[in-house]
């Protein structure tokens, strides 16, 4: 196939594309604006952070497949793709551990005020007493919003720290998820307000099409000093309402995803949430480990191989 790879992709996996007989063009710096011209004549497009609006899926008459090298497909106009007869696939599960690791990193760093520690030391301040207010994670109540692959990975990690893990009871969970949750001792509450009331930490791991889950009403139920983590999608939490509860009740937040984040991998951001002193913000890097990116790329190679043989994997 003729494949346009329009985001960073490991060299060894590019070599596999060539070995499979694909004619690939590698344009990791291509912007969304450049994609219509780049995609002309291509049969498959692989993207990670670069957005794919309608004018891209309709630009190349030969385009048959768009692969989002990540779990979500919210950066792709899937409706326009369906109208144009272009299949859209994602790569679920391969970056779950990486995202869960970042959620843990933000949790531990916030609890210990690692950024404050490091910043003070760099300016020559020694303040053991001032930086001794962490609450600890063992024996605390951690709520998981969205008990899928990533939610379970995060649950396993915080359970290993000795936290009690809670989530909202939901009919229709797969036997596999239910069994893993049982092994981890996950407890169930009735709804999100109850989860917010019960927990010291709320971590979002719901799919991108879930709507706003932590709205004003749910956030109002948080315990003073609670920690909110969002390594999923920005719109899952009402950012303005989160800022209000941070100001009013000392809520802390670890946030990897922002409503104002730029469309590609680099740019500038103007976000009251990112700038808030109670927030440890990161640059949508949950999946950005070499391990995760290589695992995602390996699956992309398998998907392209399968597609060439008439099999569509992970089509959304």
Strands, E assignment, the chain: 2-5, 23-26, 44-47, 65-68, 87-89, 141-145, 164-168, 187-189, 201-204, 227-230, 252-255, 279-281
CB atoms within 10 A of CB 21: 9
- Among residue numbers 20 through 59, which ones bind ligand MLT (CB under 6 A)? 48
Nearer to ligand MLT, 59 or 206 (CB): 206
Binding ligand MLT (rule: CB under 6 A), the pick from 70, 146, 148, 151 is 70
Cβ atoms of 1 and 44 within 8 Å: the answer is: yes
- The residue number with the shortest CB distance to ligand MLT is 70
Directed axis angle between helix 175-183 and helix 149-160, to 10°?
Answer: 10
- 180 catalytic? Reply is no
For ligand MLT (CB under 6 A), the number of binding residues is 7
Residue 18 CA to residue 7 CA, distance in Å, equals 17
Nearer to ligand MLT, 244 or 294 (CB): 294
Cβ atoms of 222 and 228 within 8 Å: the answer is: yes
Nearer to ligand MLT, 48 or 164 (CB): 48
Taking CB under 6 A as the rule, does residue 72 contact ligand MLT? Answer: yes
The contact pattern for ligand MLT, residues 258-287, with x = CB under 6 A and - = no contact, is: --------------------------x--x
Catalytic residue among 16, 38, 261, 299: 261
- What does the block give as tokens for 103? 């959620």
Binding ligand MLT (rule: CB under 6 A), the pick from 3, 46, 71, 100 is 71
In terms of Cβ atoms closer than 10 Å to its own Cβ (0-12, 13-18, 19+), residue 81 is buried
Catalytic residue among 87, 205, 284, 314: 284
- 221 catalytic? Reply is no
Q: Which of 70, 74, 214, 232 shows the shortest CA–CA distance to 150?
A: 232
- 233 catalytic? Reply is yes
Binding ligand MLT (rule: CB under 6 A), the pick from 32, 50, 78, 95 is 95
Residues near ligand MLT (CB under 6 A) are 48, 70-72, 95, 284, 287
């Amino acid at each position: 196939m003729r494949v346009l790879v329009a985001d960073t992709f490991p060299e060894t996996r590019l070599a596999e594309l060539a070995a499979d007989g694909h004619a690939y063009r590698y344009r990791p710096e291509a912007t969304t604006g450049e994609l219509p011209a780049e995609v002309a004549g291509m049969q498959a497009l692989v993207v990670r952070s670069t957005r794919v609006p309608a004018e891209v899926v309709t630009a190349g008459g030969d385009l048959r497949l768009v692969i989002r090298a990540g779990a979500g497909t919210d950066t792709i106009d899937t409706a326009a793709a369906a109208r144009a007869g272009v299949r859209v696939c994602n790569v679920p599960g391969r970056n779950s551990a990486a995202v869960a690791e970042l959620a843990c990193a933000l949790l531990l760093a916030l609890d210990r005020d690692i950024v404050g520690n490091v910043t003070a030391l760099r300016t020559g301040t020694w303040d053991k007493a001032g930086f001794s207010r962490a609450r600890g994670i063992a024996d605390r109540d951690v709520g998981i919003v969205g008990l899928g692959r990533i939610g379970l990975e995060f649950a396993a990690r915080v359970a290993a720290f000795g936290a009690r893990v809670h989530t909202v009871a939901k009919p229709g969970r797969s036997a596999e998820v239910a069994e893993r949750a049982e092994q981890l001792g996950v407890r169930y509450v009735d709804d999100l307000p109850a989860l917010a009331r019960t927990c010291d930490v709320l971590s979002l791991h719901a799919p991108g099409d879930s709507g706003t889950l932590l709205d004003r009403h749910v956030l109002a139920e948080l315990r003073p000093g609670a920690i909110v983590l969002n390594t999923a999608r920005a719109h899952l939490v009402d950012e303005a309402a989160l800022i209000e509860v941070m100001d009013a009740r000392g809520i802390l937040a670890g946030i990897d995803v922002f409503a104002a984040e730029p469309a590609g991998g680099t740019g500038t951001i103007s976000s009251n949430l990112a700038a808030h002193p109670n927030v440890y913000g990161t640059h949508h890097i949950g999946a950005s480990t070499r391990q995760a990116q290589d695992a995602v790329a390996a699956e992309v190679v398998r998907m392209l191989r399968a597609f060439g043989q008439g099999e569509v994997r992970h089509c959304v």
